[in-house]
Amino acid sequence: MTAPLAHLVVGPDRHGVVRFGLELDAALAAVGVPTQLRRSQDLDGCRGVHVQFTDHLYGRPATEAAVTITRLADRLHDRGARLTVTLHDLPQPSDGEHFDERARAYRSICAAVDAVVVSSEHERLLLSEIGSAPDRLAVIPLPIPAAVTRAAPRFAEPRSVGVFGYLYPGKGHLEVLAAMTGLPRTVWMLAVGEPSAGHDDLVEELSATARRGGRRFAVTGHVPDHALTTMLRSVTVPVAHHRHVSASGSLNAWLSAGRRPLAPITRYTSEIRERNPDALLLYRDDGAGLRSAVAAALAEPRSTWLPPGTTCEPTVAGAARMYGEALGRWHG
């Protein structure tokens, strides 16, 4: 019997990279790509390994997280096996003081492994910008599950502006709240998600800012999968203002709920628009652009809904087939 290709996915199930890995593994099975899911580094009996990697799941500092992967590559190479990796959360200058360290970590991984997957052309360019250009590299965009086919519901009052995803500085919550200045005070803001570890203070900062403006602000906390689509469909205006994203699962979640979210014009969102021309409501990447886009969407909320039956690319099966082709080529 041929030894299996191990698919290594470590970390808590609610982490975005872990969720992606688990969902990809199920999608690979559905399209007939044989992998064996591993949730720990017990990798005996496999012919090769593919890892879902972000430094946040493999320890701090980032250079120590990279050592875990480079040592795994050495062990596999010693017995004639290969290690490939999907890199997530690629380093970029907005990382601030951690940028140089993270860049060193990701460069060392690219040098140690046999092949690399990134989830956007933007991420391929981010790798190039930190001085890494792997010989074997595939760009496989994050899959977008089929959009809800139901028509848009009636618009509830009072109207709301929503941001989805973990709360942390740079995600866009503060900028969206600031952009609501001048709107009727009945328009409220909803943060769909929970604070990232160590950022509970951001909730109080947002709440205090909203109170000073006489505006309601609420945080849902973790929303279970079975309730997420309903929650995302309840918001009047969906906004994805994370300006330094490398690949965005939260933006895809809006699309899967049948929404057409507002998003700034960036290298990444332009790439999404190229594949799915009518999926996003893009605005100029500054405060004035965001304010204008929110006001326009509140005036015409139907613009924030995809037509029923819309299919965005790549689909779950399509992305799985791209993974299957790359893994087959690299692992034999």
* pLDDT tens figures, 153-199: 777 789 999 999 999 888 899 999 999 999 999 999 999 999 988 88
Same domain, 296 and 325: no
Same domain, 177 and 293: yes
In the prediction, which pLDDT does 44 show? 82
Q: How many domains does the chain have?
A: 2
Cα dihedral 210, 212, 214, 215 in deg (nearest 10): 0
**Percent of the chain residues past pLDDT 70, beyond the cut:** 99
Same domain, 52 and 185: no
Report the candidate in 130, 242, 145 with the shortest Cα–Cα distance to residue 196.
242
Q: Which two tokens stand for residue 173?
A: 């919550």
In the prediction, which pLDDT does 275 show? 95
Type and span of the H or E element at 318: helix 316-331
Three-state secondary structure string covering 256-279: HCCECCEEECCHHHHHHHHHCCCC
Same domain, 320 and 285: no
Expressed in percent and rounded to 5, the helix, strand and coil fractions of the chain are: 45, 15, 40
Residue 15 scores a pLDDT above 80:
yes
- Between 242 and 102, whose confidence is greater? 102
Residue 153 covered by a domain:
no
Given CA atoms 231, 237, 243, 245 in this order, what sign does their dihedral have? positive
Q: Which two tokens stand for residue 147?
A: 């959009």
| Per-residue pLDDT band at 19 (split at 50, 70, 90) | very high
pTM beyond 0.85 = yes
In the prediction, which pLDDT does 317 show? 97
Same domain, 286 and 193: yes
In the prediction, which pLDDT does 139 show? 98
Supply angle C-alpha 300, 259, 89, rounded to 5: 125
Same domain, 278 and 323: no
Residue 142 scores a pLDDT above 80:
yes
Same domain, 124 and 211: no
| Per-residue pLDDT band at 304 (split at 50, 70, 90) | very high
Residue 149 scores a pLDDT above 90:
no
| Per-residue pLDDT band at 21 (split at 50, 70, 90) | very high
- Euclidean distance between the first and final Cα of the chain, in Å? 15
Whole-angstrom CA distances from 115 to 26, 86, 247, 295 are 22, 9, 19, 45
In the prediction, which pLDDT does 199 show? 87
- Strand arrangement, sheet containing 188-192: 217-219, 188-192, 160-164, 237-239, 262-264, 281-283
Same domain, 117 and 241: no
Question: What's the domain range around 17?
Answer: 5-143+316-331
In the prediction, which pLDDT does 320 show? 98
Residue 1 scores a pLDDT above 80:
no
Q: Write down the mean pLDDT value for the chain.
A: 93
Mean pLDDT of 112-137: 97
Residue 311 covered by a domain:
no
In the prediction, which pLDDT does 276 show? 96
Residue 321 contacts residue 274 (beta carbons within 8 Å) = no
Cis previous bond, 169, omega within 30: no
Given CA atoms 120, 88, 16, 192 in this order, what sign does their dihedral have? negative
* Stretch among 5-14, 40-49, 293-302 having the lowest mean pLDDT: 40-49
Given CA atoms 228, 176, 185, 212 in this order, what sign does their dihedral have? positive
In the prediction, which pLDDT does 146 show? 87
As beta bridge partners, residue 217 has 189
Q: In this predicted model, what pLDDT tens digit does every residue of 223-246 receive, in sequence order?
A: 999 999 999 999 999 999 987 787
Same domain, 117 and 225: no
